[in-house]
Amino acid sequence: MQDSKLIIGISSRALFDLDESHEIYKKQGLKSYEDYQIENEDKTLKPGQAFNLVKKILNINDLYDGLERVEVILLSRNTSDTGLRIRNSIEDHNLNISRAAFCGGESPHRYVKDFGVHLFLSSSSDDVKLAIKSNVAAATIMSRSLDKNKKSDSGILKIAFDGDSVIFSDESEKVFHEKGLDAFIKNEVNAKSFLKEGPFKSFLVELNKIQNDFEINECPIRTALVTARSAPSDKRVIKTLRKWGVRIDESLFLGGKDKTKFLASFDADIFFDDQKKHIISAVDSTASAHVPYGIKNN
């Protein structure tokens, strides 16, 4: 069994529904926002976009005998004063989150490495971009109607990843972007090297460490690669993952087919992709997060 710990950083607006108070901040300013949060600090916040995901992540600790194998850390732009409502809501929802950084309006990305965070989830695209520049896997949770936040009946945490510019670098995507599909396929078939790592490779490795603690049919985490690639460009992907010693439970090579129905069938708790068009198409049925990395985001 691994003695390391998987650490997730989460922003307050990704964890809880702070839309109402955020509107007060935008329309009436900081002082009105502060007064509103303090006046309502005993009113429990409703779950936000990433709440159910965080619950599932924390539940993994129940499978270990007294060992905290997974930790979630709150990384917030609030002050500790306005953040008291968030802390109270964490307790009311019985979330085991004890460590936090309240940054008083500044980006909390500065502390992701100090806390050893493997994945940072936020509703702020600016904070996410700064975290990725610090070489930490990060993604922007995309907004959707909160009544669509599903509670999966499965106790298994299911995470779906795009390939290029997420698990892998954008090296191959650049060829497709600049020279077209034929040049992309030729490049992949003739390539002698393995794909370079992308921003989420290290997070995938940490997930694998937990997966390796369990027999496959008893594992609390299941992963899927959901990519527009198809044969023959799939071979380089397979060989690269084999070289890294990384296990992906399901690999869907869709050849450009829309990913939405496949993600729903996989029952993904979250999907990571570098292209917003794929996120927009999937977000109504699957909680999705944008990875602002690579040629498509320049």
pLDDT mean by block of 10 residues, the chain; 298 residues: 83 94 88 92 95 96 92 95 95 97 94 96 96 96 68 81 96 89 87 93 96 94 95 92 95 94 96 95 93 92
Chain-centroid distance of CA 37 in Å reads: 27
By three-state DSSP, how is residue 75 classified? Answer: strand
- Residue by residue, DSSP assigns 209-245 as HHHTTS-GGG-SEEEEEEES--TTTHHHHHHHHHHHT
Please state at what angle helix 234-244 crosses helix 181-190, rounded to 10 degrees: 40
**pLDDT, position 22:** 85
pLDDT at residue 176, as a whole number: 86
State residue 255's pLDDT score: 92
Judged by DSSP in three states, 10 sits in strand
CA distance 272 to 283: 11
pLDDT of residue 287: 93
Domains of the chain: 6-141 (3.40.50.1000), 157-297 (3.40.50.1000)
| pLDDT of 63 | 95
Q: Give Cα 142 to chain centroid, integer Å.
A: 10
CB 256 within 8 A of CB 231: no
Measured CA to CA, the distance from residue 42 to residue 257 in angstroms comes to: 48
- Is 218 in contact with 262 (CB distance < 8 Å)? no
The active-site residue, picked from 3, 35, 114, 162, is 162
Residues belonging to the chain: 298
The DSSP call for residue 297 is G
d(CA 169, CA 200): 9
Q: Where is 73: in which H helix or E strand? A: strand 70-76
What pLDDT was estimated at residue 153? Answer: 61
162 has catalytic annotation: yes
Location of structure tokens 């992709």: 273
- Rounded to whole angstroms, how far apart are CA atoms 172 and 164? 7
